[in-house]
Amino acid sequence: MLSGINADIEYGGKIYHVQTEDRGVNNPAVTTQLFLGGTIISTKKTSYADILKVDCLNDVVRDLMKDQHRSMVKDLLSGSFNLETKKDIKDISETKKEVAPDKKGLDDVILDYLSSDEEDK
């Protein structure tokens, strides 16, 4: 398994993160993901199962990773992922999850459970 490629790309006033990984010979694929604000915007996966026996596998996989990474960056910079044109998606980079005041978060629920368990003893 080769080490991954990561890049932060500014486009349209936002910072996108592009991450490319080799899954290794047990799962022979290269995966590239485009993130905005921690949300996956796009994923591309390419299998290399058909070339596992090639002599210079690491070099071939590294080239595949670089090409796929560059392709995702190129698509981003060409406007292929212009989220403003999609009506269901708001500005993900500024979206915050808010918990309703009457709803408890998971940490609070667990803490309440553990506290009640101690009181029962």
Domain of 17, in residue numbers: 5-95
Give the DSSP letter string of 65-102: HHHHHHHHHHHHHTTTT-GGG-TT---GGG------TT
Residue 118 located in a structural domain: no
Straight-line distance from the first to the last Cα atom of the chain, in angstroms, rounded to the nearest whole number = 50
SS percent in the chain: helix, strand, coil, step 5: 35, 25, 35
**Structural tokens at position 24:** 């290794």
**43-93 pLDDT, tens digit each:** 999 999 999 999 999 999 999 999 999 999 999 999 887 765 443 344 444
Residue 13 located in a structural domain: yes
Total tally of structural domains belonging to the chain: 1
**Single-letter amino acid code for the residue at 53:** K
Residue 70 located in a structural domain: yes
The pTM score is: 0.67
